[in-house]
């Protein structure tokens, strides 16, 4: 298993057919493809998830955001939860079939709490300015270092991370990166993924 993780998070702009076509090409190179479709209903998300599985996207590469029962029922690779969620032991008790649980955090204190609760990883950001968080001050590399100093579980950094910024993010303590527009809005998603993978591998070899 690679030392560093690459998570690709859906951006809510693609139809299921487009998403499946791109996911079919990139899934061999990534740790996880997150289904994060906040504007779609729960039923729409489940139908879309079924469509992706039917198109051959491996269940262990798919993570769903915010729907524990989907992750458990379909034996997905993981479940991503928002920061304002119930204590993780309660979720694990209700959905014992969930393989891996990650949660979004915005401070070292939140990361420490979620590690104590048994999270498998945390998603921290945004690190750099990003179009999805216009006008919101990025947390930056120093805050990422602060979070990394407080926990031992993997930290997946998100927000404005280009291939050129990968090494700086990993050196600040991240165990991997999460990308949205840098993949889905690329002219060639596979080429974009490979650019990130190459940077992750180069840092791993140092």
Distances (CA, A) of 131 to 49, 56, 124, 134, 167: 26, 31, 17, 5, 21
Residues 6+ apart with CB under 8 A from 153: 111, 115, 119, 120, 121, 122
Residues assigned a catalytic role: 126
- CA dist 47 and 67 (Å) reads 13
Q: How far lies 184's CA from each of 57, 103, 121, 205, in Å? A: 16, 22, 23, 27
What SS3 class is residue 154?
A: coil
Largest CA distance in the chain: 45
Q: Are the C-beta atoms of 104 and 82 separated by less than 8 Å?
A: yes
Q: What element of type H or E holds 138?
A: none
Of 43, 42, 44, give the one whose Cα is nearest residue 15.
44
* Alpha-carbon gap, residue 46 to 70, rounded angstroms: 7
């Amino acid at each position: 298993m690679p030392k560093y993780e690459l998570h690709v998070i859906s951006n809510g702009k693609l139809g299921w057919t487009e998403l499946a076509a791109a996911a079919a090409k990139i899934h061999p190179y990534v740790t996880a493809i997150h289904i994060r479709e906040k504007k779609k209903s729960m039923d729409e998300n489940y139908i879309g998830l079924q469509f992706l599985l039917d198109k051959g996207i491996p269940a262990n590469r798919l993570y769903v955001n915010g729907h524990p029962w989907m992750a458990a029922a379909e034996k997905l690779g993981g479940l991503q939860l928002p920061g304002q969620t119930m204590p993780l032991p309660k979720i694990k008790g209700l959905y014992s079939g969930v393989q891996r649980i990650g949660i979004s955090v915005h401070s070292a204190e939140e990361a420490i709490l979620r590690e104590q609760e048994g999270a498998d990883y945390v998603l921290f950001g945004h690190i750099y300015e990003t179009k999805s968080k216009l006008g919101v001050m990025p947390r930056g590399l120093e805050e990422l270092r602060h979070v990394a100093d407080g926990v031992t579980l993997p930290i997946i950094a998100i927000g404005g991370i280009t291939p050129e910024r990968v090494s700086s993010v990993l050196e600040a303590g991240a165990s991997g990166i999460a990308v949205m527009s840098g993949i889905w809005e690329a002219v060639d998603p596979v080429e974009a993924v490979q650019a990130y993978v190459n940077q992750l591998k180069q840092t791993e070899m140092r």
